[in-house]
Amino acid sequence: MKSPILEGGVFLVLCALIISVFGEEECVPYALKSTDVGFYQFSLDLLSGEEVSVDSLDASSIKTAKTYIVIDGFLSNLTTPMSRTVKDELIKIPESNVIVVDWGPLSGSTSYTGSMNPLEVGVLYDQVTQNVPLVGQKIADFVQALKDKKNIQFSQVHVVGFSLGAQIGAVAGLELLKRSGEKLARISALDPAGPKYKNGGPENRLDDTDAAFVDVYHTNRLGFGNDRKNIGHANFYINGGNQQPECESITAYVEKGICNHQFSWKFWNLAVVNDIKVCPCELKLFSKIACDCKDCERPPCENPIRTGLNLLITYAKYIFEIVSSVVDQVC
Ligand SMILES: *[C@@H]1O[C@H](CO)[C@@H](O)[C@H](O)[C@H]1NC(C)=O
């Protein structure tokens, strides 16, 4: 059996060479296999998960109900912390389905080794971003099958995506909209990936047209996250949106960034379980500070709203409030 890690390493060296001679576009990881994107159903009765596919849906225990689709980011798979812990919280919600997308071979998780230098990791990231549209299409196919075979409407589908997983959710949402004219209910974007997604039009990155409701949680917006402001219907700048208190003591630059970035899903998990109220702040368009929240030091502020899953309770009102330049910050 070939070692995927060795294969990945050899590929990277080759790839760096190919890029230097032919340019980036010529270097794609490898031919896609149908098994490269896996879907796993989890519930309190199915704690270790069960693979489901478009073909096996009929026989699965997936019910006509609210459906959460969890998508982790770069270097992820079924067992990486975001996939695992976000799923563990969501399965507690009664009468719902929880599906985790495992795009491991395409996310770089089988190619990555701890001995890679930052340049090599950067090359890998670039390749992985080229897989994002493909993974998004696969998810769109799967969601379409949920509708056709299980009568789950797009308006019952809530994608929770972290980093590149949020960008993948955006591709899936836009693809379904193009195919059918219908939108997914919601994309919760947990610090959506920034690198490679900072420029370009809304077609190529997450924005508020990708689902009926898009809520965005910024935790490292000037690093691994996205610095574009107000890209969702609800935009949360957690602790200012860039630097998280629990990561302050970390001195190594990359590790600190990862810690800030990952805080987005840790916050999400808290918001699934707890009723977290947040305060409005004023968007600063041309400033490094995303928003200015005068009352946040002393909650309860005026007009606090709930976040995470409880946001649905104030859904309509909240969208209405957020179309202006008012955004919300976690106190
Ligand atoms: C899942 O991803 C992690 C982190 O990238 C990696 O260490 C692990 O080997 C992967 N597991 C599988 C089964 O590929």
Distance, CA of 78 to CA of 90 (rounded, Å): 15
Best of 103, 110, 124, 162 for a ligand 1 pocket test (most atoms within 8 Å of beta carbon):
110
pLDDT digits 0-9 by tens, 206-238: 999 999 999 999 899 999 999 888 888 888 888
For 293, the token pair is: 């929240």
Which helix or strand (DSSP H or E) is residue 104 part of? Answer: helix 104-107
Q: Which residue's C-alpha comes closest to atom 1 of ligand 1?
A: 77
pLDDT digits 0-9 by tens, 69-108: 999 999 999 999 999 999 999 999 999 999 999 999 999 9
Global pTM value: 0.85
Residue 49 CA, ligand 1 centroid: distance in Å: 17
Are the CB atoms for 195 and 168 separated by under 8 Å?
Answer: no
Check pocket membership of 83 for ligand 1, CB cut-off 6 A.
no
Determine, yes or no, domain membership for 10.
no
pLDDT of residue 89: 94
Determine, yes or no, domain membership for 12.
no
Determine, yes or no, domain membership for 5.
no
Check pocket membership of 77 for ligand 1, CB cut-off 6 A.
yes
- Secondary structure (H, E, C), 117-151: CHHHHHHHHHHHHHHHHHHHHHHHHHHHHHHHHHC
User: Does pLDDT of 153 surpass 90?
Assistant: yes
Q: Which residue's C-alpha comes closest to atom 6 of ligand 1?
A: 109
The catalytic residue among 83, 107, 109, 163 is 163
Determine, yes or no, domain membership for 69.
yes
Task: Count structural domains, the chain.
Answer: 1
Determine, yes or no, domain membership for 297.
yes
The atom of ligand 1 lying closest to the CA of 78 is 1
* Catalytic residue check, 163: yes
User: Does pLDDT of 297 surpass 90?
Assistant: no
Residue 104 CA, ligand 1 centroid: distance in Å: 7
Determine, yes or no, domain membership for 14.
no
pLDDT of residue 299: 52
pLDDT of residue 320: 29
DSSP letter, residue 225: B
Distance, CA of 32 to CA of 153 (rounded, Å): 29
Range of the domain at 122: 37-330
3-class DSSP assignment, residue 231: coil
Determine, yes or no, domain membership for 126.
yes
Are the CB atoms for 248 and 290 separated by under 8 Å?
Answer: no
pLDDT of residue 281: 72
Residue 83 CA, ligand 1 centroid: distance in Å: 12
* Catalytic residue check, 207: no
Sign of CA dihedral 296, 219, 79, 142: positive
- The percentage of the chain sitting over the pLDDT mark of 70, rounded to a whole number, equals 76
The atom of ligand 1 lying closest to the CA of 109 is 5
pLDDT of residue 328: 41
DSSP annotation string for 268-321: HHHHHHS--EEEEEEE-TTSSS-EE-SSTTSSS-SS-EE-GGGGGGGHHHHHHH
Determine, yes or no, domain membership for 41.
yes
User: Does pLDDT of 264 surpass 70?
Assistant: yes
Residue 125 CA, ligand 1 centroid: distance in Å: 16
Residue 110 CA, ligand 1 centroid: distance in Å: 6
Distance, CA of 221 to CA of 290 (rounded, Å): 9
User: Does pLDDT of 8 surpass 50?
Assistant: no
pLDDT digits 0-9 by tens, 169-206: 999 999 999 999 999 999 999 999 999 998 877 788 99
pLDDT digits 0-9 by tens, 143-152: 999 999 999 9
Check pocket membership of 79 for ligand 1, CB cut-off 6 A.
yes
Distance, CA of 247 to CA of 257 (rounded, Å): 8
Find the CATH number of the domain harbouring 259. Answer: 3.40.50.1820
